Structures are given as structure tokens and as C-alpha cells.
Amino acid sequence: MFRQTALKSSRSFARQWSSRRLASTKTIREALEEVIPAKQAQLKALKTEHGSAVLGDVKVEHLIGGMRGLKSMLWDASVLDPNEGIRFHGLSIPDCQKSLPAAQGGKEIIAESMLWLLLTGKVPTEAETRQLSRQLAEKGELPDHIVKLIDSLPTSLHPMTQLGMGVAALNHDSVFQAAYEKGIKKSEYWTYALEDSLNLIAKLPALAARIYRNVYKPENDIPGINKDLDLVGNYVNMLGYGDNHDLTEYLRLYIAIHGDHEGGNASAHTTHLIASTLADPYLAYAGALYALAGPLHGLANQEVLRWQLNMRKELGDNITHEHIKEFLWRTLKSGQVVPGYGHGVLRNPDPRFIALQEFCETRPALLADPVIQLVKKTYEVAPAVLKEHGKTKNPYPNVDAASGCVLYHYGLTQFKYYTVIFGVSRALGALTQTVWARALGLPLERPKSLSMDAIEELIKQ
């Protein structure tokens, strides 16, 4: 009943903001200065009036099961509903596709419009979006010491290791750290966290593109940042694919809808935990990237692609639904999971998967690709097989069931790099919450741990 009320409230909020696209010349900082006081007052009221309200019971299965599903974290920008999927300040992915500004000459959501929504809770105007694109482009060049650091690393070093090192080293220029050392009011923390966060988001494309060039295409020059392009437009251009409009549009969509996925996932939670120590956003997000690099988090889309390519290699080109069904059962009976299916929270097809499928369906070249065809056919067969198997809570596809396969089609065939793209994306939501944690004065995160003996004693009591 509470969930239904909350969802109705979210939909009402979504309609409210999707209808408010008035012309504006505010900067994102000015927009935040308007909304932060109301959020601070809301948090104060929750603490003083409802501090003893019970949100759920902690069970032994939560404690030993990775805290899965335990309601214990404030994360305001996005809420993940098991049935409806992700909503960003009340807006579903289809809502965002209808209301958030695209790039000039494009149709897909861009990172800047999603970042504005995540930070302010409001749909940006066209002018606000372009202004933010320009602001990020002007901040996007890498400092010389970062260029020297990345160029000095062995190309055999994993791209995610390099990305984390580069992000951590950017804290050399942290305005939050410098201001904190001089002594600033707590009420001002968020302004410096915002500046660091925008600087980091702005530099991630150049950093990620340099790693790609060094590891995979050292013969290529890296174009400079075009201040008239959006964040992802520049990123694709620096990767060397700037003439591929469809890939650019795909990565705009991919990065925007991957930007946030509630706060409990490992990379988002790591950012929140490290930032709660008052570490600057660079150090907090460097830790998040190493959480993202783990096989149980950010590597899923490359595992899907590898599995799909193995299926095609084994079964050939004329693959029927029955062939796929047999391959699925062989995978399950061998003790393996079907990659790209199931989710820790979702109990229906992931709306992000649906959005990527719809993107494919509008492009004949993608529809003709055997790997993309295989993704679609697998979706038509896998849920029934997984239901019959009976060991998967969610037999439906998540976003990873499609995302890597589209990258592969467009020539980004280097599997190890896929998580770097994910890392560029997830900064939008994780750093948004770092800004808000400082604005709301959230404390150091410090859960209580228990030994097995202590648990047994509590059970006896």
C-alpha cells in the first residue's frame, strides 16, 4: 500500500516536471541553490517528526546475505521499483526520452540533461542543457600530469585499473580538499563538492579516450575537445568514431540511462561510503571504479557478449528458437548461469533493456546483425526456460543482455574496455549523491557488525 502511494506520488511529480520546460538561463549551481533549502527542510522534518518510524526489520538473512534488500540508505535521485524499474526523480525511462533534451541534431537523451535532472530534480530547458554542455566542454581537457601518468602506464594494465588511477590522481586539483584544509563552513561543503564533481565528469571522456587509444590504437591521434559538442559527442570523437552518428546516439542513450540505478549497487554505495569520510569526489569515485571492475558488477555485458558469440560459434548462423532452448538448458545443466538474465531487485524485464531493444529496432543495420538477432531470439525463449528451471527469481533480461552486443556491432570489440564506458556513465548518479550528501550534512557511514557468536546470542534472547 505504501509502495503504491509512493509510485502514484512519483507519477504525479513526473507529470508536474515534464510540463515545466520554461526558458531559463540559470546555471546548474544556481538551480541547486534554489532546491537545496527545501530538501534540507524535508530531511529535518523526517528526522524530528518520523525518526522512530520503522522501515523494515533486520533479519539474519540480511546480515549474512550482503544486506540485499535492506532499507538502510538515503539516495534521492533514483528509486528502483521491482516491477516498474528505475525512475529518476519520478520519471521513468520513457518519460525521460520524451522530456529530456537531446543533442543538437540528435534524438536520444544526453548526459547533460540527465545530470541536470539527477542534481536538481527538474527537467532542464534546452538553454540550460546547452549551457551545461558548454561548461563541461570548457573543463574537459586533461592536466599535463594526468596525460604523463596515463601515457607512462603499461598497455597490459587493465583499462579499469588505469581509469581508477587517473581519477584518483585528478584529486591533485581538488577544490574541496583545498578549501577544507583552509577551513570552510559545513554549509559550504556542497558548493566545492559540486565543482569537483563537474570537473571530474567533464574530464572522464578525455581520460577514458586516452586509455582506449594507448591500449588499443596507439597509432591514432586524439582530437581536441570541441566546445560545441555535448559530453558524449566529444567522447565518441576522441575514441575515433566521431563520424558514426548511430554509435554516438547509442552511447548517448546508454550513458544517460546507466547514469544512476539507486544507491545500493556496489559502485554507487562505494562512492557514498568513501565520500562520507569527507574524502573529495575524485577519491570517492576512484574507489567506486574498482568496485565496478568486479566480475559481479560491471563486467556483465562482456560476459553476455562472450556467451552469445559462443552460442553462435557452436550453432552456426541458422539458429532457431529450439536451438537456443537446447543451448540454454546445456548452460544451466552445466551449473552456469545465463548471463544477462536476472537482477538483484527487478522482477520484470529491465526498462533499460527495452530502451536499447527499441533503439535497435529503428536501425536496419542493427536488425540485420546476426548477434543482435540472437539477442532478440534469446529474449523470446529464455524467460520460459528459466521459469521452468525454477531457480531464478527474475527470469527476464537486464540491460546487459543487449548493451555490449550493440557496442560490438559498431566496432568497439575490445571487451575489457566496456566497463570503462560504464564508469564514465555511473559518475552522473554517484557524484550527484556526493553533492547532496554534503548539502544535507549526511554523517559518516558506520554500520554495526556482529560475530556469528553474537548473532546466536541475540537469537536466544
Question: Consecutive 10-residue runs of the chain (461 residues): their mean pLDDT?
Answer: 47 46 74 96 96 91 88 93 92 97 96 98 96 98 98 97 98 98 97 98 98 97 96 98 97 97 94 98 98 89 91 91 96 92 84 95 95 94 94 88 94 95 98 98 94 93 89
CATH class of 300-409: mainly alpha
- Of 260, 280, 400, 409, which residue is the catalytic one? 400
- H or E stretch covering 88: strand 85-88
- Of 62, 158, 246, 297, which residue is the catalytic one? 297
- H or E stretch covering 87: strand 85-88
- Specify whether 297 is catalytic: yes
Whether 434 and 272 have beta carbons less than 8 Å apart is answered as: yes
Greatest CA separation found in the chain? 68
d(CA 90, CA 16): 10
CA 113 to chain centre: 14
φ and ψ at residue 105, rounded to 5 degrees:
85, 0
- Specify whether 400 is catalytic: yes
d(CA 148, CA 54): 52
| pTM of this structure | 0.91
d(CA 247, CA 252): 8
Name the 3-class secondary structure at 334: coil
Q: At what angle do helices 400-409 and 300-315 cross, to 10 degrees?
A: 70
d(CA 12, CA 177): 40
Q: Where are the domains of the chain?
A: 300-409
d(CA 378, CA 351): 17
Whether 228 and 258 have beta carbons less than 8 Å apart is answered as: no
The DSSP call for residue 80 is: E
- Of 343, 350, 369, 409, which residue is the catalytic one? 343
